[in-house]
Structure 1
């Protein structure tokens, strides 16, 4: 079996699939969509953007995932200074519902692609990472009346294996949220990969990813990229750069692409060849396993 170093080298490069870009606005939700040019019953992930940042700042990462056979939907909502984590979490859920219930794309040279509703994941950066945790903690569909004072992610919690059940969650430089992602993490029983940045002044690992990884109910791995700053994975320039510390780093971006791709392919598509990447030794990173299982 290939080592973690070899897997990073492989998955850090674009995958074998041609990629198509779409627009979620066609179904009433602002955002972008990337799919492989063809495929049936593919895995899919909804990706949440950071505070103030537009979804197009992640086009390289989203396109990379699609090149490896993963359908990716990124809502471009809740971008104001007073954005709601809860609403962005709802939009991530909506994006998963859309991609898992309709056929996507299709050209004169190829048929539309389809998503397997049993292969759904959530991911995000900063604020979007926290929203992904909130979204994962909300079982679909919530069918019973919520009790007074009950955390909203517990509503409908007796439902198992419902259509749209999220199977894996990845967070990148997770920021604090309202309601707290740490509390929601206690209701997430699926595998979680939490990528923290060691030089992050916006969301230091001790305040963001670490408590969430420790509270996670399911298999949980914390991977710290030691020399990365908060904005390491974004692209281009945006006015939010004036208020958020850090800048894009190509090397960090490549590492994160490989880690995220391997985690999603392993847990959503059952590709065991990438299992060692989840908690194996990767140059420039430190890894801590909070909770193991046979599926980590």
Structure 2
């Protein structure tokens, strides 16, 4: 991998610059070099599971489009970190993210703020949080969120004026929100891509809707998911959708492992939550950099040998 090569080059340069040792390399020296190589590899700039270059700002907004009005939490690239900070220079893609059934948007903060650090505005509607959510309405809320941000990008005085790329719109979500993202995408041809987590079947059916989903989509699953098992949810959605499409299955991952903390009746996997979240951050960041930002350097991580031979994530895809 590229970051491993960088690590090796850095260590080689260090050894060449050092005085010639009087004795052979000791076991302790070898252990230290291995540790330093691992550290360099972990923090290399192409490690998209690590934070990106942007500080992250947060704000709460009220989305009002036509007859719809609801709150949303927003994470965005900022000039400095904190609440209600100015947006960083540039125009950014927008990702609307749908929460899971009975889950607060705050349970996804680590992943959504991570995406913002890599140059995306991420907005999570707080609507449809009750015991009887309307999946179709939630899909409309996700689309309304994208429409609102495009409008804000051309509204003088808006925090996001001149900071929205209207050609770089995406949908995402977890569980119920993942299924709703499929419904939303079918209704909105301005959406460039979809990437969701443990997408669950909805009413109306996300499985049925997927057959009419034209844009590239990545479904991320966990093979230990017992709440929205892949066989009954993500796999049928994937199979129904025409190419281009991907199903990336985190080995040992579970349904609740996509959230920052679990709740009552959560399932569990064979890998730690921190590991699953790290893999999730990498998958989403690589996908959005490639599909929204046009970063062709991410091809190998998205479609190439690196993606297809990842020992922690099973790959299935059709272009």
Shorter-chain TM-score above 0.5: yes
Judging by fraction of residues, say which structure has more helix.
2
**Equivalents in 1 of 2:206, 2:149: separation in Å?**
25
The two structures have a TM-score, normalised by structure 1, of: 0.81
Aligned counterparts, 1:25-174, within 5 A: 25=62, 28-37=69-78, 38-103=88-153, 114-139=163-188, 165-174=190-199
TM-score for the superposition, normalised by structure 2: 0.76
Cα gap change, 1:9 to 1:200, in 2 (>3 Å) = farther
Confirm whether residue 286 of structure 1 aligns to residue 314 of structure 2: yes
In the alignment, is the contact (CA less than 8 A) between 1:129 and 1:174 conserved in 2? Answer: yes
Matches within 5 A, 1:218-233: 218-233=243-258
Structure 2, unmatched stretches of 5+, are 5-40, 79-87
With over 3 angstroms needed to count, the CA separation of the structure-2 counterparts of 1:117 and 1:251, relative to structure 1, is same
Shift of 1:205: 0.8
Give 1:226 shift. 1.2
Task: State whether structure 2 residue 268 is matched by structure 1 residue 243.
Answer: no
Which whole-Å CA distance do the structure 2 matches of 1:89 and 1:62 have between them? 19
User: CA shift at 1:111, angstroms?
Assistant: 8.5
Aligned residues: 262
Task: Choose which of 187, 193, 197 in structure 1 pairs with 2:218.
Answer: 193
Are the counterparts in 1 of residues 58 and 74 from structure 2 also a CA contact under 8 Å? Answer: yes
Deviations 1:84-141 (A, max 9, x none): 111110110011111122149x99xx9865111110000111000000000000036x
Residues 24, 75 of structure 1: 8 Å contact kept: no
**C-alpha RMSD over aligned residues:** 2.7
- Check if 1:260 corresponds to 2:288: no
Secondary structure at 1:29's aligned position in 2?
A: strand
Instruction: State which drifts further: 196-205 or 3-12.
Output: 3-12
2:60 to 4, 11, 23: 23
Between the two structures, name the one with larger relative contact order (CA 8 Å, sep ≥ 6): 1
Query: Which segment is superposed worse, 23-32 or 209-218?
Result: 23-32
* Aligned residue among 144, 160, 177 for 2:202: 177
- The higher radius of gyration belongs to 2
Kept in 2: contact 1:57–1:235 (CA 8 A): yes
Q: Which runs of no fewer than 5 residues in structure 1 stay unpaired?
A: 141-164
Query: C-alpha separation between the residues in 2 aligned to 1:113 and 1:283?
Result: 41
Which string of whole-angstrom CA distances, capped at 9 and with x for unpartnered residues, describes residues 156-214 of structure 1?
A: xxxxxxxxx00000121111111111111111111011101000000111111111111
